[in-house]
Amino acid sequence: MVRRLLLAGYTVSVWNRSHAKTAPLAAAGAVAMVDLDQAVASAEIVISMLEAGPVVGQVIAAALPALAPNTLWIDMSSTRQLEARQFHETLQQRGIRFIDAPVSGGVGGAQAGSLAIMAGGSAADFAQAEAVLTAMGRATLVGPAGSGQVSKLCNQLIVGATLNIVAEALLLAQAAGADPTAVRTAIRGGFAESKVLEVHGQRMLERNFVAGGQVKTQIKDMHNILDAAQAAGVTLPVTELVTQRYLSIEQIYPQADHSAALLALELSNPGQRVGTAADRLG
């Protein structure tokens, strides 16, 4: 993401809790900073990309005294909606503007500058952020602060559930005497088509469960989705079941790819199995 910003002509200061990680970016043209204060003090826009909400909160708290008024902070980490709303409130009280802008598309999308960027914030702040975000991908304003995280959760909900559905279709094909590889080929391009059928359907047929997106991450996402649903007062029955399905393999395959939804299904159908390839678990 830093490389895409440099490529677009921006001056980028980089800071990491492990300073050594900034070296390759410094070599690419970024200015590596040892101190967080130093990194944020003169910035018009600060972008954070961290593991989860609690770490984002710590970094915001540490940076806060050094931030100039009217700075725009864009958090591109995946956090809970509630955390993003709290960041917005904390920063707003100090005259700092905030957008939550989590991404989808993985390392490949980051390298290609083709990330899906889901932004929550005011229209005015998004207008200022848009050119910078566009250097990294396709940015869409989806609502007020916290909404970017909601959109990311909607994305994860659809992905996790579709993985379970494709697994059920392939196991049915196999068990009913059809060739699951040919069935996948036959139904592609029609109303059953999805990115998951394309990418993870192929993985399931090859029994390649090397992550990719890990089962434990998908479970974390499912919990955050159900928390957001509860906070919003809605019950999502399929999402609840999909969470149970992933929990059934939490202890066995925590680091496998989330296409291990197929392994969960086979565990609850003893003696049934898609294909004859050996499992690859990494």
Q: Is 7 in the site for its own copies (CB under 8 A)?
A: no
**Contacts (CB under 8 A) with its own copies, residues 58-97:** 81
Note whether 158 binds its own copies by CB under 8 A: yes
- Lookup: tokens for 277: 């390839």
Question: What is the C-alpha separation between 38 and 166, in angstroms, rounded?
Answer: 49
Identify residues 228-257 at the interface with its own copies (CB under 8 A).
228-229, 231-239, 241-242, 245
Please identify, using beta-carbon distances, which residue of 62 and 238 lies nearer to its own copies.
Answer: 238
Provide Rg for the chain, Cα atoms.
Answer: 21
| Least distance to its own copies, CB of residue 14, Å | 26
* Rama region for 15: left / alpha / beta (φ>0; ψ in -120 to 50; rest): beta
| Helix (H) / strand (E) containing 31 | strand 31-32
Q: Which is nearer to its own copies, 34 or 252 (CB)?
A: 252
| Residue in this structure with the two tokens 């029955």, named with its chain if needed | 237
Q: Which is nearer to its own copies, 206 or 227 (CB)?
A: 227
Scanning residues 10 to 69, which ones bind its own copies (CB under 8 A)?
none
Residues numbered 163 to 182 that lie near its own copies (CB under 8 A) are 164-166, 168-173, 175-179, 182
In terms of CB distance, is 40 or 265 closer to its own copies?
A: 265
Candidate residues 143, 202, 280, 282; the one interacting with its own copies per rule CB under 8 A: 143
Query: The tokens of 63 are what?
Result: 């940076």
Nearest-angstrom CA–CA distance, 137 and 281: 31
Residue 260 binds to its own copies (criterion: CB under 8 A): no
* Contact criterion met (CB below 8 Å) for 75 and 48: yes
Would you name the residues annotated as active-site residues?
A: 152
* Shortest distance (Å) from residue 232 CB to its own copies: 4
Q: Both tokens of residue 95? A: 């005259």
Binders of its own copies among residues 179 to 208 (CB under 8 A) are 179, 182-183, 185-197, 199
User: What span, in angstroms and rounded, lies between the C-alpha atoms of 121 and 275?
Assistant: 47
